Amino acid sequence: MVKQKTYTIIWDRIALDHFKDILEFLSKQSSQAPKIVKDGILSRLDDVKKNALIFKLDKLKDTPSKEFRASVIYSYRITHQIKIDSREIRIIRIRHTSREPLGY
């Protein structure tokens, strides 16, 4: 059996800041919520690393592209860009699904 190489996750600075803000906000609401959401998002990113192409195309992208994919977990939408040649996944943004979507 051939072992498939995984992708490397690279966080966009803004996405990482949003992730930290989300966890900080949740910590003010509950002692358990930040850990649950953090573990869920990081688990989803493990799935992305293993098979980035299984996720749906990002329908909020201004100019549609096969490089940009998105998924939702715990009402948080994770957008990532696939760089096949360098085997990298760039996390573009994380936002709550109730927020007004902005194109990019």
pLDDT tens-place string over residues 53-65: 899 998 888 787 8
Query: Is residue 2 in some structural domain?
Result: no
Query: Is residue 37 in some structural domain?
Result: yes
* Residue 56: CATH number of its domain: 3.30.2310.20
State the Cα–Cα distance between residues 74 and 30, nearest whole angstrom.
Answer: 15
Q: What is the widest separation between alpha-carbon atoms in the chain?
A: 47
Closest CA to 94 of 29, 31, 48: 48
| Domain of residue 49, residue span | 8-96
- pTM to 2 decimals? 0.85
pLDDT tens-place string over residues 75-87: 999 999 999 899 9
Residue labelled with tokens 């072992």: 3
Query: Is residue 102 in some structural domain?
Result: no
Tally of domains within the chain: 1
User: 3-state DSSP call for residue 89?
Assistant: strand
Query: Is residue 1 in some structural domain?
Result: no
